[in-house]
Structure 1
Amino acid sequence: MKRYLFIWLLLLYITSTFAQQSLSTIPSRIISPSINSDGSVTFSLYMPNAKQVSIKGDWLINGSASMQLTNGIWSYQTSTLLPDVYIYTFNVDGVDLIDPSNVYQIRDASTLYSIFMIEGTSHMYGVKDISHGTVSHRWYPSPTLNKQRRLSIYTPPGYESSKKKYPVLYLLHGMGGDEEAWLNLGRVSQILDNLIESGKASPMIVVMSNGNVVQQATPGQDSKGFYMPSFLLPHTMDGEFESSFNDILAFIESNYNVKKNKAGRAIAGLSMGGYHSLYISANNPELFDYIGLFSPAIYPNKGIASTIYEKMDEKLMQQAKQGYKLYWIGIGKDDFLYNDVAKQRNQMNALHMPYIYRETDKGHVWTNWRNYLSEFVTLIFK
């Protein structure tokens, strides 16, 4: 009996010793990203057997930067970053990975990113201790497309208990996005909450539709179930969404306390959403007093035939004749659509169409679009 007891105690000692040695080789919980007091950010990844690791981030001018290896941990520290929302991924020996130490992740089109935020005193993207609006998802009938489709809708603080009628901003996403893109990447509800609270923006409803007419809703939320998202979808810029837009308008004006006149409607969008906003407003000059084009695509692809895109000089002249209160255009200096926007501005100048133009740094990025939205909503419904 004593012999068995001795063997058992010996095994327990050996197991405990090996366990302690094993644990000693594993670093304590890695903090990544770590936001430093000077506004720089440190990223860390435990990957001791990797040969090469880099980080891709939307603040990096060249797109990516190499990480350095110390005791099995790859690390990288940025310079001081301005208050904003940032996305990034790691690349380990040619394979893109999200940060396993960061629970905050987000999908942009068909790619998953890690995300972090640097806040500032005047920053509009964070959640503050103020009154908040409501975000809901509603299904609406689209007779034009012969399907039920999903909307994301922001209603301002106090909407549910108020009897007054509110103006509406129809806010459209870019290619690869959907009805959740402006909410998740664009921080719409936070921006509106903060600007309404400060008195810089009028209380308004924001309607975010899905501009991909082949979809009912964002991937995973429609009858197709879970499937691999795709950046390029059929019928995204061929006139079908623009032709079906009045289905959205009819649903909102039948189900919400909204102003049903031109002065109570605005339409804006980024990239493909700017393209949709351009053509929807030009084909329906009686509908919107406020139009916003954020880094917009301008011209249809070759081979696209639709009456929506025909006789644009005449349509823009009619839009100018009927009048509007604000036409706002913004684009980054490094945006690949910069030259097309310059041509559109020349056309509008020739037609004597007034507009506000904002030219910013950077390219086709969410940093610009959040900033554009933050300015645009302070100018409408005044």
Structure 2
Amino acid sequence: MVNTAIGQEALFGAQEIKSPEIHDDNSVTFRFLAPKADSVKLTGDFLPTIKIQTQFGAMDVPGPVHLSKGDNGVWSFTTQPLSSELYNYAFEVDGLRTTDPNNPFLIRDVASVTNIFIIGGGHADLYKDNDVPHGTVAKRWYDSPGLGMDRRITIYTPPGYESSNQKYPVLYLLHGAGGDEEAWSDLGRTAEIMDNLIAQGKAKPMIVVMPNANITQDAAPGKGRDGFYKPQFMAPGTMQGAYEANFMDIIKFTESNYRVIADKAHRAIAGLSMGGFHTMHISRYYPNTFDYAGLFSAAIMPREDASGLDVYKDIDGTLKRQMDNGLKLYYIAIGKTDFLYNANKEFRDKLDAMGMDYEYLETEGGHIWRNWRVYLSDFAPKLF
């Protein structure tokens, strides 16, 4: 009886309101029932940005817009026609931030939960679950002797992996600060992007390994030994060398448990923000391991080795060894208004002075998932 009651409550307690409603011209109407509210605002990454000051300097964030109240107590707002993209949004009702009760599709970014919707007809069609062959996303646990624990990892295998004897190349895809082993699959739409690119013949079938870089965690918040707790932006020890120094634990697990082509020519590594930092350091610390490296809005910054490891020593020397060993692709991408833009410019100047070849992509916008999905969609077809 209890289960029946809960089911009936979910079925009959839902509001009969359509939000968001995507119109034929790709404008979108948002609605929120709040007859006693004095103010309802909407914020989303499709709205004009405003600058705010953060610990990292000035950053662009979406500004809020006010909804209009109708006679029925339903507040509404309609956008201008939107371009093809995956968007996120939230409401603010009398100062209280909340999600849309009429949209069950949510994502978590660090500790913030927002609703999502997709405008198709362009590059965001890559982010949809289209009628194409699908790969498999598995949540596995691997032993990390260097970090002293079993750790959770997300692994995408391409369509047909289970029914074939084929060996595959591997992309190691790293998250940013505040992320975990779920970030690239949930926020980055990795499986959808790879399924669609492979189906279109634009990317070769590959395995994508998405680890957790937070060395004090065995898994994402709510998925591991520490139970349910509020995620934090920067977990302790994440950029102090231990993750990079023990990255071979991840490679050994992958190559022992999956059918892979275990050589430099068939390994790639890429990451966003902090994951770009890790990509740069892992790929030069193990300078004969990866033929492909992708730095997406990378957190390039000087580091001192607080852990006593030698990961951040002799950066120029190890970069040169990496270059001399031969690379098929060193890829750097960043948005024009990203707060890390100047740091990436200085890093490119360093590579230029060394004579190291790289491919560079500069896009509109800042430090946002909208860019990182584009970078993965551009990077993956260049691999292997």
Partner of 1:100 in structure 2? 101
Q: Match for 1:352 among 337, 351, 355?
A: 355
Query: Residue in 2 aligned with 1:333?
Result: 336
Give RMSD over aligned pairs. 1.6
Counterpart check, 1:311 vs 2:309 = no
What does residue 19 of structure 1 align with?
none
- Distance between the aligned counterparts of 2:186 and 2:119, measured in 1? 16
User: Counterpart of 2:70?
Assistant: 70
> Who is 1:136 aligned against?
138
State the partner residue of 2:25: 38
- Give the deviation of 1:110 after TM superposition: 0.7
Q: Could you tell me how far apart the structure 2 residues matched to 1:79 and 1:361 are?
A: 19
Matched residue, 2:58? none
Residues 228-247 of structure 1 aligned to structure 2 (within 5 Å)? 228-247=230-249
Q: Match of 2:110, as an amino acid?
A: A
- Kindly provide the CA deviation profile for residues 270-318 of structure 1, in whole angstroms up to 9, marking residues without a partner as x: 0011110000001111100000000000114678465211211111111
The structure with the largest alpha-carbon Rg is 1
Contact preservation (8 Å) 2:84, 2:119: yes
Aligned counterpart for 2:184 among listed residues 176, 182, 185: 182
Look up the equivalent residue of 1:195 and give its one-letter code: L
- Does the CA contact (< 8 Å) of 2:135 and 2:195 recur in 1? yes
1:34: Cα distance to partner? 0.5
Distance apart, 1:239 and its partner CA: 0.8
Q: Distance in 2 between matches of 1:186 and 1:239?
A: 25
Q: Aligned partner of 2:85: which letter?
A: D
Deviation at 1:232, TM superposition (A): 2.2
Cα distance, 1:356–1:144 mapped onto 2, change above 3 Å: same
Aligned with 1:364: secondary structure?
coil
- Alignment check: 8 A CA contact 2:305 2:311 kept: no
Q: Is the 8 A contact 1:238 1:300 kept in 2?
A: no
**Structure 1 position 136, deviation (Å):** 0.5
Please tell me the residue identity of whatever aligns with 1:92. Answer: V
Q: Secondary structure at the match of 2:246?
A: helix
Partner of 1:276: 278
Alignment size in residue pairs: 356
Partner letter of residue 40 of structure 2?
V
Query: How far apart in 1 are the matches of 2:271 and 2:33?
Result: 40
Gaps of 5+ in 1: 1-26
Q: Which secondary structure does the structure 2 equivalent of 1:234 belong to?
A: coil
SS at match of 2:320: helix
Q: Percent identity?
A: 51
Listed one character per residue, the Cα deviations across residues 114-157 of structure 1 (whole Å, up to 9, x for unaligned) are 11111115521111111111110110000000000011000001
Q: 2:126 maps to which residue?
A: 124
* Change in 2 beyond 3 A, CA 1:301/1:67: farther
Q: In structure 1, how many angstroms separate the alpha carbons of the residues matched to 2:150 and 2:287?
A: 27
Contact 1:171 1:208 in 2 (8 A): yes
Segment drifting more, 295-304 vs 279-288: 295-304
Q: TM-score, normalised on structure 1? A: 0.91
TM-score (norm 2): 0.90
